[in-house]
A and B are shown apart, each in its own frame.
Chain A
Amino acid sequence: MIRTQGLAYAYAGGSTLHFGDVMVPQGGVLLLKGASGAGKSTWLALAAGLVAPSQGQIEVAGQVLEGGATDRWRARHIGFLPQKLHLSPALSVHDNLALAQWAAGQPEDADRIASSLAALGVGELAQRKPAQLSGGQAQRVALARAVLLQPQVILADEPTASLDDAAAAQAAHLLAQVAAQQGATLVVASHDARLLQFFTQAGPVSVLNLALPQRAGVAA
């Protein structure tokens, strides 16, 4: 579950970004829409507890994040799918996931890694290096990494950027499917109109429109 009220973030330069209120139930989908600079990344950072709001309140996975959150909280509750995937080229697919377990302060669990990869249909690629994967395979691996620790919230940052229509639809479908399987709340930050179409057709979705310069409105 994610709930915000009167949320705002003040940048070091002095400008303040105000966000509209949202209330996304556990297992729901929130789409952050807006052009570059509209505040999508800032909202994701607030939801991950990486930065603290200057005004208002944000509650994520039952925790009110007043002054940000600890690394361990983030490891337990947040899964993250970055735009550029950031799979380490030095490591195998298996090790990329094991590295995520290390980052979260958990012991390596080979069975969980195997089942996470298998659930996304890339179990047989465990020993390959990221350079040996196709774009779609790499995204599945990154998603397997994001949900490896069974987070309550999955944050996806521009997951379909630079993908063609078919690949974008597949990626969106995969995200929705994985989030649903895990019962996780899915937050997708994107300015890709195809995603809005996909998620609106797929089921109920909350949309937070982030507009330049500051004000945002909520539609459901």
Chain B
Amino acid sequence: MKTLRWAWQFLWSRPLAAALNLLLLSLGLAFITLVLLVNHQIQQAFARDLAGIDVVVGAKGSPLQLILSGVFQIDTPTGNVPLADVQALQANPQVAKLIPISMGDSFKGYRIIGTTPDYMSHYAGVMASGAMWQAPMQAVLGAKVARDTGLRVGDSFAGSHGLGGGGHAHGQTPYTVTGVLAPSGSVMDRLILTPTESVWRVHEKDTALDAVDQKILEEEREVTLALIQYRSPLAAVTFPRFINTSTNMQAASPALEISRLLGLIGIGADVLRAFAGVLLLTAGLGVFIALWSAVRERRADLALLRMLGAAPRQLAALLWCEALWLALLASLLGMALGQGVAALLAVALDVDKSISLAALNWPVELLAVPALALGVAAASALLPTWEAYRVSVFELLQSR
């Protein structure tokens, strides 16, 4: 403990050098923290929203777009598919669960999703207030939607055409809020859920010219896509091929598409990691130079300590503890800085209404930050520590 105390005092005896080294090391660690945090949370968000969904079936187009729009609600869908085709899939023996998703409208930037109560059961949604819808044109709000729009149970609102907001309002067909979901951290938090029939009704009422036209529209009803859970894992081999070759729809495997996406994101993360690595290397060099010059400057003082009875390992420990302090302080500062930037990023993404990042998240991966700091500091201190270890008192006596 005493060694730590002396090391602390010696470290701060050159405050500018210590502060600059601390800053450099902290910046590198902050970068690492940020990359780890964002990576962890994106993977967690993907894992949470994809849980239990084996395949997504929708209109032909980009399979990744289908997954992003259908599961994560962060892209535009590839188109619509006939309701009859999806109902036929429901009867397929390989399908254990099918959740239809219809989209096209939004309210203040939040998507209105036509679906069935199965969607909420799938993500284990819990009502914070109100109750499940009982009829078309009733809606249940995700926690974030309710928070941001101020809508409460019993309130009415009219959706606007399009997913990004700014489209024309469907003023003739307002929704009534029957419930608000508790926050779940899943995609549901930023959705407005309503029976599929609501979406049909809004658009049919807006476009039908007369009763006959209404009848035709009803016969041509569509949904945007379907989230499907297989009855058996073996279905993964045959079901997508069946959809892709025998129907006008496409089947996209979330696991496959997301691993492809993460591969793309991974390149960016690797670049950030490499940048952080360069920063850490520079910081390591800074720490090395600081400790090396500390040994050089204090060589005679260290020799005197040897004369007073200090063992070589005591002097080495003294130097090593200085590096340890730097590592410890830089870890704390770096993680705080990384969390701060992640929090800012979370705010920015929140504004975008895309993937939710939680500020002040402490995944176990963050243990890598102090470990890295210790590693860099220990490596940087290696040579100076050795130099301190072999300080010669004889030289001190002879140098005048």
Contacts and interface: CB of A to CB of B under 8 A. Distances in A.
B300 A45 contact: no
Interface in B257-272: none
B324 to A, nearest CB: 17
B3 A83 contact: no
B309 A75 contact: yes
A78 B2 CA distance: 23
B394 A104 contact: no
Contacts of B396: 82
A132 to B, nearest CB: 15
Nearest to A92: B9
Contact of B400 (A50, A89, A105, A158): A158
Interface string B286-320: 00000000000010110011111111001000000
A88 B397 CA distance: 17
Contact of B397 (A44, A74, A99, A108): A44
Contacts of B13: 88-90
A103 B314 contact: yes
A103 B306 CA distance: 7
A48 B306 CA distance: 11
Contacts of B134: none
A143 B393 CA distance: 18
B72 interface: no
A152 to B, nearest CB: 14
Given A86-B300, A91-B9, A99-B6, A105 B398 contact: no
Interface string A71-110: 1101110101011101011110001000110111100100
B309 A99 contact: no
B301 A86 contact: yes
B313 to A, nearest CB: 10
A211 interface: no
A41 B398 contact: yes
A99 B5 CA distance: 10
A28 B256 CA distance: 89
B10 interface: yes
13 contacts: A41-B394, A42-B394, A45-B393, A48-B393, A75-B309, A78-B309, A82-B396, A103-B305, A103-B309, A103-B310, A103-B314, A105-B314, A157-B397
B393 A99 contact: no
B37 to A, nearest CB: 37
A99 B305 contact: yes
A45 B301 contact: no
Interface of A: 36, 41-42, 44-45, 48, 50-51, 71-72, 74-76, 78, 80, 82-84, 86, 88-91, 95, 99-100, 102-105, 108, 145, 149, 157-158, 161
Interface string B1-28: 0110010011011000000000000000
A181 to B, nearest CB: 20
Contacts of A90: 9-10, 12-13
Contacts of A72: 309
B304 A86 contact: yes
Nearest to B396: A82
Given A41-B397, A50-B394, A88-B301, A82 B6 contact: no
Contacts of A99: 6, 305
Chain B interface mostly: helix
Contact of A100 (B298, B308, B314, B400): B308
Given A50-B393, A86-B301, A36 B400 contact: yes
Nearest to A77: B309
A108 B2 CA distance: 9
Contacts of B10: 88, 90
A23 B13 CA distance: 44
Contacts of B12: 90
Contact of B309 (A51, A74, A83): A74
A51 B394 contact: yes
A104 B307 contact: no
Interface in B363-377: none
A104 B309 CA distance: 5
Nearest to A40: B397
B6 A102 contact: yes
B394 A83 contact: no
B400 A83 contact: yes
Contacts of A149: 309
B301 A104 contact: no
A82 B309 contact: no
A102 B5 CA distance: 11
A71 B398 contact: no
B395 to A, nearest CB: 9
Contacts of A82: 300, 304, 307, 396-397
B308 A80 contact: yes
A35 to B, nearest CB: 12
Interface in B70-93: none
Given A36-B400, A86-B301, A95-B9, A71 B306 contact: yes
B236 to A, nearest CB: 67
Given A51-B394, A88-B13, 11 more contacts: A36-B400, A42-B398, A45-B397, A50-B307, A71-B309, A80-B304, A80-B307, A89-B13, A90-B10, A103-B308, A108-B2
